[in-house]
Structure 1
Amino acid sequence: MRLRSLLAMTDLGLELVTGEEELDRFVRWVVTQDLPDPSRYLSGGELVLTGMQWHSGPQDSETFVAALARSKAAALATGDARYGAPPEDVVRACRKYRIPLFRVDERVAFATVTERITRILSTGRAADLTAILDRHRQLVAGTGLGSVLELIERDLDMRCWVMTTTGRVVAGPDQPPPARTVTEFLSARRLPHVVRTEPRPYSLFAVDEFGTSRVTDWLLVFDSDCSDWPEQRRALAGELAAIVSLERVRGDDRQRAEGRLAEELVQLIVSDAKPAEIISRLELTGLGVTDSYVAVAAAAEDVLRPRELRALLREILYGRTPATGLVDGEAIALIPADDTAFAEIGSALGTLEPGLGEVRLSVGVSGIVDGEGLRGAVEEARYARRMAAGRDRASALVGHDELATHMMLLAGVPDEVRRMFRLRLLDPLTSYDQDNGADLAHTLRVFLQTNGSWTRSAELLHLHVNTLRYRIARIEELTGRDLSRLEDRVDFFLALALS
């Protein structure tokens, strides 16, 4: 419906304050907002009702109305309870950003406006959708997504689940849909997508298709073929996605305070803080100070945004109370230790892999430590993660048991020290290779892998032994090292392991 239709609803008594030239805009939904910046709860086309609780001066009007404009809201309607008529600075901001402004008489409740408009918007079976479209009271009352999905099933005879890309059911009926629904959601070329199964098909919709990477999104699963749906039912799927997105944001908000504490804890660990200081922070994150822990590191080669990577790792570790932070592009999590963590992480990665596409997700898991061993565990997990990144798979997982003993020792050495050690030994070789088209670094690696066997190394490199001797002599000349000495061989072996 268009904004000018609101003025014809005499029972609502809406008064247009400014924006007559914009009255041909369409209204897609009605929301009530009193946050200083409501943009994250808007997706475009909303009539925004506000009691003006965010307003304390002209600067607040600029922030609030600018956020509406960025979010492509249809219009703003202010209640009279606090100020009577809208303050002049609100009117000016609406004119500046071309946001139509209505005044809601204080005798008219916002719930009345919401119900009246949403009934008209649902042009099909309005009675079927009344309780769903009154979603604000449902969610604020704490009934959550479960009650909304129950209303859809009861009134429309259509079952729906909200799921994550690891296969976890966030809300919905007790019997979950087939596991392949998640796999097909992740690999579908376009959405919505219909999964053809017996005895019924399933339709898959993204919750936030354009706002987040698919691998970190949630999905809606309906137990019917959406290609047969009327337009009103398709619109319902879109509105339900908006409700789910709102509830997910609220859940993220609840995690925000504990997330900051977890971020501080991880930063303390990698900055080599004293164990006593680290342990004192453990209690604040919800992890017990006498427990045993496992560190998990994940990275996605800069394809996922940091918040998406952290959210994905939290989802992979769901149910384990992870304390998660970001360090140099890696998401680091600490979880209470148990014997099933590694296998469950591997299972989650197997579910995610079809939807990774260009995302190469690598994960490393440490051994079990106590509170005083957290720094070593984090370094161990990060090194295991780097090993996983070298594997030719969309997702790869490496545990501490795959790390050689010398690698476990190197995990405790600061990154800058490791980098300088590697450069000091290998940079002369890599520079020479680049300038001359040579292959000295690879020759050195093969020579060490064969324990210095001239014959075996020459065979593997397809070289004459004399050519190999020339290359080794050149390596020694460039680096000032002697490969007949055990100490120098060990140094080169460790430097190559770090590269």
Structure 2
Amino acid sequence: MARLANDGSDPAQNLTSDAHGLPLADVIAVDALQGSKMLAGHTGSHRTVTGLNVMEVPDVLAWVKRNELLVTTGFPLLDSSRRLDVPRTEALVQGLYDAGAAGFAIKLGRYVDEVPESVVALADELGFPIVQIPEDVAFDDVLKDGYAALNTFQSRVLAQIDALHAALTLIVLEGGDLEQIAAEVSKVLDIGVIVTSTDGREWAGALSDELRASLEVSEFLDVSGRIRVERMRRSRPFGAGEIRALHVAASGTELARLVVVSEKRTLQATDVYALERAATVAALHITRLQAVVAVEGKYRGDFLRDVLTGRAESPQYVIEHAESLGWDIDRPLVVVVAELDPPGADEPVVSSRTRRGFQDRFAAAWRQVVERRGRSIAVADFSSQVVALLPVSPDGSDVVDVVEEALAAVRGDSGGGRRPFSAGISRVVAGVERLPDAYARAHKAVDVGRRMKGNSSTTYFDRLGVRRLLSQVEDQGELAEFVTEVLGPLADDTPAAADLRATLQVLLDVNLNVAEAARSQHFHYNTMRYRVTKLETILGRFSTDPQIRLDVAVALQILHMRE
């Protein structure tokens, strides 16, 4: 039975929903609406229709539901003189758009001769369709044919979704993986499917060679191979078709993205509904997988932490146990310690759960990048840092290439919500008994590097120079006392002292060339000479005494490390 606009609304009896509907262009093509034409809002012809409504009263907006096509003769829009009330009609179009209605269909000729230009202009501006339906069409035929088309469509959608859901559920119950889920969806819908992490790292995929080749040369793939899912918040053109990313979530937590690539056709509503069901099944599989990975990850992480902190048993036991985990740690290695940078002052405060999510995604990115190089490479999440033992040549000639390649792959183009991080790299070690020292040095390199260079730094322990030695001094009080003794009042935390220290550092950097130092700091030569005299009054004759100059340089480095 058709619902009129002045009927009460009972949600329990609303058989149509936003999830299952036809594009407006398909609805006005049903038999009863043959001969209809779009008068305005052509760009909205794709708007979803899930129901039809007949306008019988002027105050219809109170009863219009989202995605409904409102049909009228125009009679309720007439004023007391039996003329079309233009302001009321404009308000109706704006109200229907705001309410999310699919469109407005009007029968011209009996009560209303034409739609005013101002109403057409408003509809065009909003992209809200106004459709003229034939004068001889009966509304009961419109409702009958419209709902018949919607019911047929919904039945087809449900049948396809149920068939796909049954197949995917069977895959999950039989222990299948994401590759099989992606392959089944790709086969049923005849499209390319990729399951990625939330920041676009591919976990599984089902793409033809031709489709993957097209994707690799598109704007949607960065140099590290990451899919730029942040560019797919809505459907984007891809060849003659489209590419889009659907969220895979459970309990309000985003788990992954389902990226759909269709090069030859745009997706139909039925495809999208089936994909949403596939995303639900994928979420079920990922949730189960995450539980297993969490247990295995903690076990692996605890073991590697014991190895790197010197709490493990004999080297032979460590090697054998690592092999049982699939790791080869008895070869030349560098230890890489990577830590997420602290949030900036302008960033909003986030909850501990959100921060944990950042770390989980960071660790997952490292695991994926490292495992691509070889599953025998040890990598683990230490809660606040990720540690990887990257294999290198015995002479260490390829350390920079190996490390920088891994760091670049993890960072990518920093899209997809990835967080900046800093990394410290140990010297090359061979033998498990030397791993604790290597880990300590890599950890120290992260700390010193971030203080020296700021966030997003990469620091090699062997390149720290004198800072490498200073970082090994456990007694920080001794270092502070040395700085005070050498620099005197220049060690104070005041703007004046900092200004003179900056001049002193420039002088040391240019080998005490006063003219060059003056140019670097944009001072007059005589001003720089005055500053040199003032510095030597405080520090001693550092310009002629190499021992004083060495002490001053070391003290400045200590201050830089403490900043």
Q: Could you state the TM-score of these two structures normalised by the residue count of structure 2?
A: 0.54
Match of 2:552 in 1: 489
Change (3 A) 1:222 1:307: closer
- Map 1:240-389 onto structure 2 (within 5 A): 240-268=278-306, 271=309, 273=310, 280-281=317-318, 283-285=320-322, 286=325, 287-288=327-328, 290-303=330-343, 305-319=358-372, 320=374, 321-326=377-382, 329-337=384-392, 339=398, 341-349=402-410, 351-356=412-417, 359-370=419-430, 371-385=432-446, 389=450
The farther-off stretch of 122-131 and 363-372 is: 122-131
The answer to whether residue 162 in structure 2 is matched with residue 130 in structure 1 is yes
Secondary structure at the aligned position of 1:161 is classed as: strand
8 Å Cα contact 2:429-2:435 kept in structure 1: yes
Counterparts of 1:347 and 1:498 in 2: how far apart (Å)? 26
Counterparts of 1:121 and 1:388 in 2: how far apart (Å)? 61
Change (3 A) 1:270 1:138: closer
Counterparts of 2:162 and 2:315 in 1: how far apart (Å)? 52
Unmatched runs of 5 consecutive residues or more in structure 1: 1-21, 30-119
Counterparts of 1:469 and 1:292 in 2: how far apart (Å)? 52
How far the C-alpha of 1:495 sits from its partner, in A, is 1.0
Q: Which amino acid aligns with 1:198?
A: G
Secondary structure at the aligned position of 1:291 is classed as: coil
Unmatched runs of 5 consecutive residues or more in structure 2: 1-11, 20-151, 344-354
Secondary structure at the aligned position of 2:382 is classed as: strand
How far the C-alpha of 1:138 sits from its partner, in A, is 1.6
- Map 1:46-65 onto structure 2 (within 5 A): none
Q: Could you state the TM-score of these two structures normalised by the residue count of structure 1?
A: 0.60
Post-superposition CA distance 1:208-237 (Å, at most 9, x none): 49735xxxx643221238995444432333
Counterparts of 1:431 and 1:23 in 2: how far apart (Å)? 78
Q: Which amino acid aligns with 2:503?
A: T
The answer to whether residue 194 in structure 2 is matched with residue 161 in structure 1 is yes
Match of 1:48 in 2: none
Match of 1:152 in 2: 185
8 Å Cα contact 2:194-2:205 kept in structure 1: yes
The answer to whether residue 561 in structure 2 is matched with residue 465 in structure 1 is no
Change (3 A) 1:260 1:348: same
1:171 is aligned, of 170, 194, 205, to 205
Change (3 A) 1:450 1:367: same
1:443 is aligned, of 499, 503, 524, to 503
Post-superposition CA distance 1:211-270 (Å, at most 9, x none): 35xxxx643221238995444432333333333333333333333344223433454466
Change (3 A) 1:145 1:288: closer
What RMSD over aligned residues (CA atoms) do the two structures have, in Å?
Answer: 4.7
The answer to whether residue 245 in structure 2 is matched with residue 204 in structure 1 is yes
Counterparts of 1:280 and 1:270 in 2: how far apart (Å)? 14
Change (3 A) 1:219 1:464: same
Counterparts of 2:506 and 2:482 in 1: how far apart (Å)? 20
Counterparts of 1:440 and 1:132 in 2: how far apart (Å)? 73
Match of 1:17 in 2: none
Counterparts of 1:491 and 1:366 in 2: how far apart (Å)? 23
8 Å Cα contact 2:189-2:271 kept in structure 1: no
Change (3 A) 1:278 1:267: farther
Q: Which amino acid aligns with 2:385?
A: E
Aligned residue pairs total 374
How far the C-alpha of 1:348 sits from its partner, in A, is 0.8
Post-superposition CA distance 1:34-65 (Å, at most 9, x none): xxxxxxxxxxxxxxxxxxxxxxxxxxxxxxxx
Post-superposition CA distance 1:389-436 (Å, at most 9, x none): 5799996645567x144345456x27x646973686279768734365
Counterparts of 2:200 and 2:428 in 1: how far apart (Å)? 25
Change (3 A) 1:223 1:323: closer
Change (3 A) 1:126 1:206: closer
Counterparts of 2:279 and 2:452 in 1: how far apart (Å)? 36
